Structure 1
């Protein structure tokens, strides 16, 4: 299941997850592509940012808090978290993220599809799908899988299985929540940052399929391919 239509957006959201609590991911900043280059800034006015500070958020290492926006070496800083295109195994890296080996998108596009997750910290960059032109495909990690499936149940899910989406307007935590089901079994939720956009896409032609199953006994992971047409 390969991505044929890549994402082109102008905004990537920086999210952070505390090492002490892997149950919550906070929206803390935004990386923007401008005509003059790139700009990173913290979203200091949001509730997520305030909650992250309470959980011990100290900022992204290269960008000190309370310093305004940043424009120098912004993309270079984030690209350090990805393997260089010159590496011999770069094509394998692309395939692992369901991208074609001849992927010729920009570095910004590459991050939009792959993120910047490292095992050493809780940072990641997520595209603002509201800006994406249709058609596109996006590989998304299902949120909250560990609370709905055991590892044994997750590995029994077949690749290519159709994923059904259900809006949970009465969800006590998020009225925009979108639950994901395979064969009427709940496997988790759409990332909260993407729920409003996914709801809009559901009115159009949005298909979702299981693209990858991995993880550990403690943390089973399921990745779903969103295909908007």
Structure 2
């Protein structure tokens, strides 16, 4: 098992939401969790295009923090609400939960950072947390799922080997999203970088950092296969 070696404590986490009923099942960044004065605050990003599009697909807020006319900021027990999406650390198989997400079971990691590294996604509500690595110094690593694999991949799961290298290719001419970044293996498309991580990838690519990806895990079902990429950010190449 390949572990994430350089843990970066996040300043904030992005909250993304997937429209379960939409045709393309797109993910939208709808909020952020920010550390402020000793607590974690949830801010909905209600002045962004992603937030507006999510609302058009039925987004009404996290069940514990519904969108209200009088404000889109919450500061009461926000961290506790999201930590409940994780298995208890006291569980005998928690080490396996860590390993499956590329984390050394012996690593010291805060609840806030753990949420960012594992995503805390549940199967039925579309929410996921994303570590944006704001101002992070390389080297660092993270694991990301290939978005759109089921519908757009040119490679079947049986032909994808663990540790196979992948490339990240910007698609400025993409008719749906000019910010799209394609994930390729041997010149064939696997899918795309998740929308919640697009800003991170573009920032790294623009700054000239090396980004090396390789397949780290395959799971899911025959109807919904899932492919995960271990992504290592290194020194600048130019």
TM-score, length basis structure 1? 0.93
- Give the alignment of 1:162-177 within 5 angstroms: 162-177=165-180
Worse-superposed segment, 154-163 or 33-42: 33-42
The answer to whether structure 1 residue 220 and structure 2 residue 225 are counterparts is yes
1:62 corresponds to: 64
Instruction: Decide which of 75, 86, 91 is 1:71's aligned counterpart.
Output: 75
2:194 corresponds to: 191
Q: 1:98 to 1:73 in 2, by over 3 A?
A: same
Once residues 214 and 135 of structure 1 are traced to their aligned partners in structure 2, the CA distance between those partners, rounded to angstroms, is 27
Shift of 1:7: 2.8
Shift of 1:93: 0.7
CA shift digits 1:45-96 (9 cap, x unpaired) = 1122122222111211111212331111110110001011111111111011
Instruction: Decide which of 104, 107, 126 is 2:108's aligned counterpart.
Output: 104
Worse-superposed segment, 29-38 or 81-90: 29-38
Contact 2:141 2:230 survives alignment (8 Å): yes
1:91 corresponds to: 95
Segments of 5+ residues of structure 1 without an aligned counterpart are none
Once residues 200 and 124 of structure 1 are traced to their aligned partners in structure 2, the CA distance between those partners, rounded to angstroms, is 21
CA shift digits 1:132-163 (9 cap, x unpaired) = 3322110000111112237x812320000111
The answer to whether structure 1 residue 28 and structure 2 residue 67 are counterparts is no
Contact 2:170 2:181 survives alignment (8 Å): yes
CA shift digits 1:160-210 (9 cap, x unpaired) = 011112111211122222111111111011112322321332322221111
Once residues 23 and 56 of structure 1 are traced to their aligned partners in structure 2, the CA distance between those partners, rounded to angstroms, is 12
Once residues 119 and 200 of structure 1 are traced to their aligned partners in structure 2, the CA distance between those partners, rounded to angstroms, is 30
The answer to whether structure 1 residue 18 and structure 2 residue 30 are counterparts is no
TM-score, length basis structure 2? 0.89
Contact 2:143 2:229 survives alignment (8 Å): yes
Contact 2:27 2:196 survives alignment (8 Å): no
Once residues 108 and 198 of structure 1 are traced to their aligned partners in structure 2, the CA distance between those partners, rounded to angstroms, is 22
Q: Does the residue aligned with 1:82 lie in a helix, a strand or coil?
A: coil
1:81 corresponds to: 85
Instruction: Decide which of 141, 153, 156 is 2:156's aligned counterpart.
Output: 153
Segments of 5+ residues of structure 2 without an aligned counterpart are none
1:206 corresponds to: 211
- Give the aligned CA root-mean-square deviation in angstroms: 1.7
Q: Would you identify which runs of 4 or more consecutive aligned residues in structure 1 move more than 6 Å?
A: none
Once residues 110 and 42 of structure 1 are traced to their aligned partners in structure 2, the CA distance between those partners, rounded to angstroms, is 21
Once residues 105 and 134 of structure 1 are traced to their aligned partners in structure 2, the CA distance between those partners, rounded to angstroms, is 18
Contact 2:171 2:178 survives alignment (8 Å): yes
